[in-house]
Amino acid sequence: MSANNECISPLTNLSEDEQFFYDTVKDFAKEKVQPLVREMDDEGTMNNNIIKQLFEMGLMGIEIPEKYGGAETSFFMSILAIEAISTVDPSVAVVVDVQNTLVNNAFLRWGSDHLKEKYLPFLANEKIGAYALSETGSGSDAFALAAKAEDKGDYYLLTGQKMWITNANEADIFIIFANVNPELGYKGITAFIVEKDFEGFSVGKKEDKLGIRASSTCELILENCKVPKENVLGEVGKGYKVAIETLNEGRIGIGAQMIGLAQGSFDYGLNFSKERIQFGKPISEFQGLQFQIAQAATELEGARLMVYNAARMKDCGMNFIKQAAMAKLFSSQLAQKIASLMVEVMGGNGFTKEFPVEKFYRDSKIGTIYEGTSNMQLQTIAKLLLKS
């Protein structure tokens, strides 16, 4: 399905093809991922066979053109895949998310023909990518990064350290941001394509996290990392545009992850409420709980429409920045709210690792932090409103 088919109305319901795709991915998550969720969470490791199956299903190159081995469908389809997997395990979903909404999108928009021909077939079929912007002193203030790139004629030497990089432990291809001229501030920032085996590059400490534990989050170490000049992504000194515009798209992906997470926890808690007997009847028959469930379902539907709307706007070539910020803000806040509610609905059971809602609750917190904190989304929304 081409992206043009999505341009009729940003808020249309799913087409037959879209619904089939969503259901297929969700079935895969239930059959193949769900049996491994607890083990992967406990060990803090992504199962290699799951990664292999993600590639086999074409979920790692959803927008990549067929000539490079991709599925050549729409951004919206990436969003559906992220949502569907997140109903079972947001850790696996973020692997798909970063690959499609950040790494692949950056190559498709900013990569030279040479870089596309060299790397997109690998990203579509066998190699994971990672997106390395953050540093210890550069989080919300993304352009305060300290990593440097020194021009050596035929190549650059990158020095510095990147922090909290998703997929870093499994990735072979990295988009790394460094400054070629710190005196120019953000106008010196440049995006580089770095391979895992490049001289001077290494993956450092793996973080021991609260949630999405199977998804690796690591530091990257650049010690005179030698990068060919042809591996500049976009223009020298224009890395800030690559970073900003790619993250705008990525925020829709996080929104999809959060609504999937919320749906997964909601479904489990709802089913439990129909089976849990107290005072002679299922707790779902108590009006106090019914009202909470109804409120949660209504807000979740609203969050889903916000995410879908932003994704369709992106596919249609519309300005979606405000909608993406709103979708990420609201869906990440709601994911925490619904996951917390479902822990309470399940009572003591919900507080144990025997049931999945406690994991959904832990996983939900990251949504308000990565790819732009909630405060940064509020700032973006406010600026755009005040400009209009």
CATH number of the domain to which 280 belongs: 1.20.140.10
Give the per-residue pLDDT at 3. 45
Answer yes or no: do 156 and 193 share one domain. Answer: yes
CB 167 within 8 A of CB 209: no
* Final residue in a domain of this structure, among 208, 237, 266: 237
Give the per-residue pLDDT at 143. 80
Answer yes or no: do 120 and 16 share one domain. Answer: yes
Answer yes or no: do 246 and 380 share one domain. Answer: yes
Answer yes or no: do 155 and 274 share one domain. Answer: no
Give the per-residue pLDDT at 6. 47
Please state whether the predicted TM-score (pTM) of the whole model is above 0.85.
yes
pLDDT averaged over every residue in the chain: 95
Answer yes or no: do 134 and 120 share one domain. Answer: no
Distance of alpha carbon 21 from alpha carbon 15, whole angstroms:
10
Answer yes or no: do 106 and 170 share one domain. Answer: no
* Final residue in a domain of this structure, among 188, 212, 237: 237
Give the per-residue pLDDT at 12. 53
Q: Do the bridges between strand 129-132 and strand 173-179 make them parallel or antiparallel, or are there none, so unpaired? A: parallel
Distance of alpha carbon 302 from alpha carbon 285, whole angstroms:
25
Q: Which domain holds residue 374?
A: 240-387
Give the per-residue pLDDT at 2. 43
Sign of CA dihedral 88, 92, 93, 94: positive
Give the per-residue pLDDT at 139. 83
Answer yes or no: do 62 and 45 share one domain. Answer: yes
> What CATH code is carried by the domain that includes residue 30?
1.10.540.10
Instruction: Give per-residue burial for 271-289: e unless 16+ CB within 10 Å, then b.
Output: ebbeebeeeeeebbeeeeb
Distance of alpha carbon 197 from alpha carbon 83, whole angstroms:
33
Q: How many domains does the chain have?
A: 3
Please report, in angstroms and rounded to a whole number, the separation of the first and last CA atoms in the chain.
34
Q: State the number of CA atoms in the 13 A half-sphere of 335 facing the CB.
A: 34
Answer yes or no: do 122 and 177 share one domain. Answer: no
Answer yes or no: do 148 and 228 share one domain. Answer: yes
Give the per-residue pLDDT at 74. 97
Q: Please enumerate in sequence order all residues whose Cβ is within 8 A of that of 62, keeping only pairs 6 or more positions apart, or say none.
A: 70, 71, 73, 74, 77, 78, 81, 100, 104
> What CATH code is carried by the domain that includes residue 141?
2.40.110.10
Beta-strand (E) ranges in 180-314? Answer: 189-195, 201-206, 217-228, 232-233, 277-278, 281-282
Dihedral over alpha carbons 339, 340, 344, 345 (to 10 degrees): -30
Answer yes or no: do 292 and 227 share one domain. Answer: no
Give the per-residue pLDDT at 388. 72
**Other Cβ atoms closer than 10 A to 230:** 12
Q: What is the pLDDT of residues 37-75, one digit of tens each?
A: 999 999 999 999 999 999 999 999 999 999 999 999 999
Give the per-residue pLDDT at 55. 98
| Phi, psi of 2, rounded to the nearest 5 degrees | -85, 160
Answer yes or no: do 102 and 175 share one domain. Answer: no
Q: Which residues pair with 190 in a beta bridge?
A: 178
Checking 284-293 for CB contacts under 8 A at 24+ apart, the result is 289/345, 292/341, 292/345, 293/345
Distance of alpha carbon 203 from alpha carbon 161, whole angstroms:
10
Which of the residues in the chain have pLDDT under 50?
1-6, 8-11
Answer yes or no: do 145 and 177 share one domain. Answer: yes
Residues designated catalytic: 371
* Final residue in a domain of this structure, among 219, 237, 255: 237
